[in-house]
Amino acid sequence: MHGLLNAGWRATSIGLLGLSQRAGTVTYYCEAIPGQGKTPITSVFATPGDVDLLIGQELLELGRLVFGGFASSTCSIIGNSTRYLTTMEKMPAEGGIYDSSIIARAVAELAPGRHNVVDAQRLVLEAGLPALTSNALLLGAAIASPAFDLPREPFHEAIRESEVNVKASIAAFDIGYNRVKDGTLPRMMVEGQAPVDGAELARQRQGRLSENQRKDYDRLLSHAAVTYGPRMHLILAEALYRLMDYQDTQYAEDFLERVAKMAKQPGADANLVEAYAQHLSNWMTYEDGARVAQLKTRPERFERIKQEFGVTGDQRFVVTDYLVPDMEQILGGLPKPIANLAEKIGRMFKSDFDAMKFPIQVNTNGFWGYATMRGISMLKGVRRSSRRYGHEQILLARWEAAIVTNLKKSPQLGALAADAGRIVKGYGRVRTDALNDFWIFLDEGLPRIERLVQAGGSMDTLGSKALALLAKEAASAPMMRAFLDAEEQRIKPA
């Protein structure tokens, strides 16, 4: 708005309370007209079908505006295709991400030839600018668009007046402005989900491992490829990397031994083994304190933060992590005898011992903060003797027994028991709720599905729908029960 005022326009704006996963908590609406004539009467609310320019700092935010019907018949649309996932997209355990192509198609149909939806963050990073200057790039594109087509100088002045990252913001503004003017700014940079190449994935993952682990990774993956064929290559390439990065080579070998044992079970087909391997690798890399500390102190994390915020040269920056470990998470990382003793003593002095939490702030790239986190990450050396590890082994054995038991009844039931591993995700309370759903499915859901199939129901349909309900969000067992109740009423023999 300040740029428009500098350009001699009359302009008013208002921030409307709303949702924004990328840029704050308001949607800004601006009305402006050129010249210095009579004072215009402006509105503080956007009128559907009468907005001449839509700017979305994030793709889903742009989608809300597009589907809200605000655009006029000659509207120009400028948007950022970079995704910052919403809370509602992150909450489901799987399949919660909105399909970006729906928004892309709507924009192209609504404003043919008058839209630029680009990966603004990528464009500024490629120019050596901070990721957060992507807003300035979008502004430059908007000012050069048919909606305004104004000179850049008044907006340069507005950026200088803001006194916020002036040099980088002007450079980003000029990228958007110049590329609209010369016609080189892409109309659409919303890409679909490209198929993943297994060989390329393996090369990438191998490159992330230490020099000593790379040969072991290649050896294990090559042997597994011969044993299981190309169908399993993608899963195993990712699984072996995660397991070796999480613990060590022996841990990855333990994983392959469990997969081989399951594959030898009578009736175990490729679908069962594939599902079991994928979900087993996720389960075995559960997030404990050592893993969190390992991820928080990686050099590439600090480099990514520096790049995102445009930290250069000798500029000082501080990374503060906010952690809230509970008592179970703390004790779970300790050797079982020590954890049990600490728990026994703690219960003597604190009646709410189990509910205790410890909110902390750690300057992770400071000397003491980094040293503390690195020390915690070294607990992975005693992970196999920890109380949490022993507990997870018991749970895994129970899951494997359920797979074998159901496999003896039918290959389809066995495959469903294996695929149920996708329910187990998250940490803390979420993981506890997910595990409860998991056991309810194995102990109650599968027998009910078996009876429904005997009454004429479809194993694939019943199993996939029940699992989808549970995998979407933790603590969804009541939804699965309601679904099976309805199916029992529908399929009930006359």
Percent of the chain topping pLDDT 70: 94
Phi, psi of 113 (to 5 degrees): 75, 0
Instruction: Please say whether the beta carbons of 294 and 435 come within 8 A.
Output: no
> Averaged over 379-390, what is the pLDDT?
95
User: Cα–Cα distance between 42 and 50 in angstroms, integer?
Assistant: 13
Tens of pLDDT, residues 342-365: 999 999 988 888 889 999 999 999
Q: Which of 34-43, 368-377, 422-431 has the lowest mean pLDDT?
A: 34-43
Please report the DSSP string for 27-79 in residue order. EEEEEEEESSSSPPP--SSPPTT-EEEEEESSHHHHHHHHHTT-EEEEEEEEE
DSSP, collapsed to helix, strand or coil, labels residue 11 as: strand
Q: Can you tell me the distance from the alpha carbon of 255 to that of 242, in angstroms, rounded to the nearest whole number? A: 11
Q: What is the pLDDT of residue 312?
A: 79
Phi and psi based region of residue 108 (left: phi greater than 0; alpha: psi -120 to 50; beta: remaining) = alpha
pLDDT in tens, 145-203: 988 989 999 999 999 999 888 999 999 999 999 999 999 999 888 765 555 677 888 99
Say whether pLDDT at 139 is over 80.
Answer: yes
Q: What is the pLDDT of residue 231?
A: 82
Q: How confident is the model at residue 27 (pLDDT cuts 50, 70, 90)?
A: low
pLDDT beyond 90 at 463: yes
pLDDT higher than threshold 90 for residue 494: no
Q: pLDDT at residue 25 above 50?
A: no
Nearest to residue 143, comparing CAs of 125, 121, 159, 163?
A: 159
- Supply 86's token pair: 């919403």
Q: With CA atoms as reference, report the closest residue to 68 among 113, 116, 18.
A: 18
Alpha helices in 87-210 (DSSP H): 87-90, 100-110, 120-126, 134-144, 153-162, 166-181, 198-208
Contacts of 169 (CB under 8 A, 6+ apart): 133, 136, 159, 162
CB within 8 Å of 9: residues ≥ 6 apart:
32, 33, 34, 35
What is the per-residue pLDDT for 377? 95
- Which band of pLDDT confidence, cut at 50, 70 and 90, is reported for residue 430? confident
Task: Kindly write down the DSSP assignment for every residue of 255-270, as one continuous string.
Answer: HHHHHHHHHTSTT--H
pLDDT of residue 320 exceeding 90: yes
Task: Provide the 3-class DSSP secondary structure of residue 97.
Answer: coil
pLDDT over 90 at 223, yes or no: yes
Contact 93, 474 (CB under 8 A): yes
Number of neighbours of residue 91 by Cβ within 10 angstroms: 13
Say whether pLDDT at 338 is over 50.
Answer: yes
Q: Which residues are 188's β-sheet partners?
A: 117
pLDDT of residue 346: 93
Between 57 and 92, the higher pLDDT residue: 57
Residue 412 predicted with pLDDT over 90: yes
437 or 304: which carries more pLDDT confidence? Answer: 437
Mean pLDDT for 199-224 is: 93
Reported pTM: 0.75
Q: Burial level of 45, CB count in 10 A (0-12/13-18/19+)?
A: exposed
Q: Of 62-66, 110-114, 308-312, 335-339, where does mean pLDDT reach its minimum? A: 308-312
Residue 40 has pLDDT above 80, yes or no: no
d(CA 57, CA 25): 12
Cite the DSSP H helix spans in 285-378. 289-296, 299-309, 327-332, 336-349, 367-377
Q: Which domains does the chain have, with CATH numbers?
A: 2-181 (3.40.920.10), 306-365+372-387 (no CATH), 391-494 (no CATH)
Q: Is residue 94 scored above 80 in pLDDT?
A: no
Question: For residue 3, which of 121, 152, 145, 158 has the smallest C-alpha distance?
Answer: 158
Task: Using pLDDT thresholds of 50, 70 and 90, give the confidence band for residue 21.
Answer: very low
51-56 sheet: strands from edge to edge:
51-56, 71-80, 115-118
- The predicted pLDDT at position 194 comes to 52
Phi-psi region of 284 (alpha: psi -120 to 50; beta: other; left: phi over 0): alpha
Of 404, 491, 482, the closest CA to residue 445 belongs to 482
Q: How far is it, in rounded angstroms, from Cα 251 to Cα 243?
A: 6
